Chain A
Amino acid sequence: MPNMSLKKVPMPEQDSKIRTKNFSEVALGYTEEQAVEEALRCLQCKHKPCVKGCPVNVPIPEFIKEIAAGEFKKAYEIIVRENRLPAICGRVCPQESQCEGNCVRGIKGEPVGIGRLERFAADYYMKNVKNDVKEVEKNGKRVAVVGAGPAGLTCAGELAKMGYEVTIFEALHTPGGVLMYGIPEFRLPKALVEREIENIRKLGVKIETNVLVGRSITIDELFEEGYQAVFIGSGAGLPKFMGIEGENLNGVYAANEFLTRSNLMKAYDFPNSPTPIKVGKNVAVIGGGNVAMDAARTAKRLGAENVYIVYRRSEEEMPARLEEIHHAKEEGIQMKLLTNPVRILGKEGWVTGMECIEMELGEPDASGRRRPVPKAGSEFILPVETVIIAIGQTPNPLIRQTTEGLDTHSWGGIIVKEETMETSKENVYAGGDVVTGAATVILAMGAGKKAAKAIHERLNK
C-alpha cells in the first residue's frame, strides 16, 4: 500500500540557532525507517515523468522500489548505473525544477523526496558496503581530461569503465572543482566529496593535480604526449565584477575568493589553518543565486551579525535553490530585494558602506523576465564593512588563448555540437560550465557522460 500522505517525510535538520555557529552539515539525512516511509509514497508510475526530468535519466521508480523493500544496496547499484556521484547530486541538485518538479504526487501535495532518497541510498552504501571495484581490462587507448569538476570526473569515470587509460589534469591542489572550493561544508561535506572521488580513482583514473593546462602543458602538447582525445571540463571560474566605484577597496571580495578561502583553504578554522579571511559585523552579498546564498550563510557562520542579500529583482526570480533560500532565511539572512548597488564607499581604503538604489519591475525582457528599473531618488546607504560580489562567472580565457582552432562564443564559452560535445578542434570535446556558463552539477555530469560516449564511438571507428 502506498503511503498517501500529502507531505514529504520531514528530514531532520540542525537547529538554525546552533548551526549558524558551526560548519557542519545542516540537513542530517533520513534514517532507514524514514527512507522506507518516504519511498512508499512513490506510485511507481508506468510513464515515469520523474525520469524525464532527470538530466542523466536515473531509473527513479526502480531504485525507490528497492528502498521501499529495504534493499538499500540494490537501490544504490541502480542509481550508479547512470549517476557516478549520487551522494553529491542528492544534496545539491535543484530537484524542484527537475525530477521532483515532474512528479505526479506533486500535483496535489508535495512530490516524492527523490533527492533525499538518492542521498540516503548513497550514504547507506558508503557507510555499510565495502566497495571493491572489478579491474577493467584496458584497451590501450589514452584520453586526457582537463579539470576535475563534476564534468571531468564523470567523463573520466565513464571512459575508465570502458577500458580507457584516463588522466585528469587539475590546476588546483585538490580535485573536485566547485564541489571542493565553492559549495560549503554545511551543504556538502568535503569528506564525502573525497570519497566519491576515491571511487573514481578506483576505476583506474589518474589525477594529476597542480597542472594548469594552457600554462603547464597545452592541449596540442597533450596529443604529442600520446593522448588520442581530450575532454575540456574546466568550468566557469572567472569572477565578474560590477565595474562600480570602490570595488578595489579592502573588504570587497569576489564570492569565489571568499568561498575558496573558507572551503578549500579552511580559513574558517583560522588560525589552525594558516589562510586568513576577514568579515565585518555587517556584510552585503550582491546577487541572488546559489553562490550568493552560500557566501551569505558562510559570512554568518564566520561571525557577521547582519548579513544582507542585495538582489535587483524579486524573490520569485531568484535563481538559487528553494531549499537554500529557505535555510538562509531561517538563519537570519536579511533579503534586500529589488535593490541594486550604485557604489561602494570607503574610508582610508576600507569599506564603510554601500550606496544602493531601489528598483521596480518593468516590461519583460528578451529572456521573459521582467526587467528591473531604478526608482529615481530612492538611493540609500547600507552601512557594511564587507561586500561580497556574486553576480556570476564566465570561463577562464587561458585555454582558448593557448589552443588554436578552438571556437568560442564572444562571452568565452566553448562552442560544441550538442549531440556529441565535439568542439571545432579535432578529437577535442568539452562540457559543463565551460560550454554552458555557470549551470548545475548534474548538467555538467550529463555533458561529461555524453562526451565519453562520443569519444568511445570516435576512437573505435
Chain B
Amino acid sequence: MYRILSKKILNETVQLMEIEAPYIARRCEPGQFVILRVDENGERIPLTIADYDRERKTVTIIYQIVGYSTKKLSQKEAGDTIQDIAGPLGKPSELKKHKRVLGIGGGVGAAPLYPQIKKLSEMGVNVDVILGGRTKEYVILEDKFREICQNVYIATDDGSRGHRGLVTDVLTKLIEEGKEYDEVIAIGPLVMMKAVCAITREYHIPTSVSLNPIMIDGTGMCGGCRVTVGGKIKFACVDGPDFDGHLVDFEECMRRQRMYKEEEHVCLIGLEG
C-alpha cells in the first residue's frame, strides 16, 4: 500500500497527486513512468513521473480523468492509499546538452514534458515551450514552466488564452520567424505528436516524442505495448517510451490504441460520481 501525501485539482479533468514510493523516488529519472493499480481488483495503468523528491521519497503524478481507473484514482484523497505502484519503468530520456530546445505539451502531455524540460534547464540548456489546451482551463503547469523557460507560448482552441488555434500553428510561426532549435520534444495526443513531426521533418529538426500505447505489465513481458519505429518492432515500456518521432509509425499507434474502444465504454458503467 502506498500513501497519497497530497492532492491538487489542476482543472475540471486533471489532477495531481504526490505519492510515497521510496524505491521509485530514489532512482527515477525524467522520461520514466510508473504502473499503478488503484485498488485490489484494479487494472494496471501507466502514468509518467511528473516530478520527484528523493528526500521525501515521493513521486508526483498528473493524470487526466478519461475512464474507469483514472476516475477511481480521482476519488482518492490525501491520506488514502493506493494498492500498487511499480517503477521507475521505461528508459530515462536521453537529454543532450544542446544550445536551445523547444518543448511542446498538448493538454495533460505538459505533465510528462515537465521533468525533461526541468532537467534540461538544470543542464544549462535554453528552453522554450508551447503549451496547448482546449480552453485556458486545460493549460496546465504554466507557472512551473515559466520558472525554468525563456519563453512560454500558449495555444488554445477557442483563443481564451494565447494564440487561438493549435500548438503546431505556433511551432510553424516560431520557425518562420527564424528561431533555431537543436531539438523539439513533443508530448501529447498521438495526432498532435504526428502533426508536430510532419513539420519538424520538413525543417530537419530532430524530434523526440513520448509514446503512450496500451500497457499491461510495463516490464517487457507481454508485448502489448509494441510499436513500429524505423521499421522495427519495439516495446514502448522497455525500449521507450521516448522515440525519434520521425521514425514512428503513428497510424499504427493510433489504431492499436483504439483496440478496446468498446470495452472501455462498458467499464464506466456502475461507477459513481
Q: Which A positions have Cβ atoms within 8 angstroms of B?
A: 171-173, 209-212, 215-217, 237-239, 241, 247-248, 250, 253-254, 256-257, 260-261, 265-266, 270-271, 273-276, 278, 349, 396-398
Contact = CB atoms under 8 A, between A and B. Distances in A.
Contact of B37 (A173, A239, A250, A260): A173
Interface in B73-100: 83-89
A349 B23 contact: no
B256 interface: yes
B269 A271 contact: yes
Prevailing SS type, chain A contact patch: loop
A239 B86 contact: no
B264 interface: yes
A237 B220 CA distance: 8
Given A215-B88, A276-B267, A260 B69 contact: no
Contacts of B259: 250, 278
Interface stretch (B38-46, B117-125, B128-136): B38-46
A181 to B, nearest CB: 8
B contact residues, range: 35 or more
B267 A271 contact: yes
Prevailing SS type, chain B contact patch: mixed
A169 to B, nearest CB: 9
Given A209-B84, A210-B23, 5 more contacts: A215-B89, A265-B43, A271-B266, A396-B220, A396-B221
Contacts of B263: 270-271, 276, 278
A273 to B, nearest CB: 6
B228 A248 contact: yes
Nearest to A169: B23
B223 A257 contact: yes
B41 A217 contact: no
Contact of B86 (A173, A253, A260, A396): A173
A81 to B, nearest CB: 33
Contacts of A398: 219-220, 238
B255 interface: yes
B203 interface: no
Contacts of A397: 220, 238
Contacts of A254: 222-224
Given A212-B89, A260-B216, A239 B267 contact: no
A247 B89 contact: no
A248 B233 contact: yes
Given A250-B259, A257-B223, A210 B27 contact: no
A278 B42 CA distance: 18
14 contacts: A171-B86, A171-B217, A171-B219, A172-B86, A210-B23, A238-B220, A239-B223, A241-B233, A254-B223, A256-B221, A275-B216, A276-B266, A396-B219, A396-B221
